[in-house]
Amino acid sequence: DGGITQSPKYLFRKEGQNVTLSCEQNLNHDAMYWYRQDPGQGLRLIYYSQIVNDFQKGDIAEGYSVSREKKESFPLTVTSAQKNPTAFYLCASSIDLSRQGVSYEQYFGPGTRLTVT
């Protein structure tokens, strides 16, 4: 079964602790994305990556960090510098859009709900 897995589904942390969210895909997609979802605010882009060892900040990157050491994996670290880390985090991937005639579709994982108290 091809798809995106995110683990864990629920994560609880104390304030001041860094936490890393896992995202793995076996779709052979080049591009990967991290979004944050808050009630009434839609999805907002945190970081994205076009290729291994390359990533760019999205609209709300402050307090987050990522790495892309393998094509299949794009972990997100929520640092203690993130002021309001409690949210639903979604990972997505897409085909390399520089190829001719490909779909722009982004495929989403099931999400991780992070609660920080």
Interacting residues with another protein (CB under 8 A)? 4, 6, 30-31, 33, 40-45, 48-51, 58, 90, 92, 94, 96-98, 104-111, 113
Q: Cis (ω within 30 of 0) for the bond into 8?
A: yes
* Of residues 7 and 18, the one with the C-beta less far from another protein: 7
Considering the complex, what minimum distance in angstroms separates the CB of residue 80 from another protein?
26
Q: Name which of 77 and 106 has its Cβ closer to another protein.
A: 106
**Residue 53: enclosing H or E segment and its boundaries?**
none
Residue type, 31: A
Minimum CB separation of residue 14 from another protein in Å reads: 24
Radius of gyration of the chain measured on its C-alpha atoms:
14
Identify which of residues 48 and 64 has a Cβ nearer to another protein in the complex.
Answer: 48
Which two tokens mark 56? 């760019």
- We find the least distance from the C-beta atom of residue 116 to another protein, in angstroms, to be 19
Q: How many other C-beta atoms lie within 10 A of the C-beta of residue 29?
A: 18
- H/E stretch holding 92 reads strand 87-94
Smallest gap from residue 16 Cβ to another protein (A) = 27
Among residues 72, 75, 32, the alpha carbon closest in space to that of 56 is found at: 32
Give the residue with the Cβ less far from another protein, 85 or 111: 111
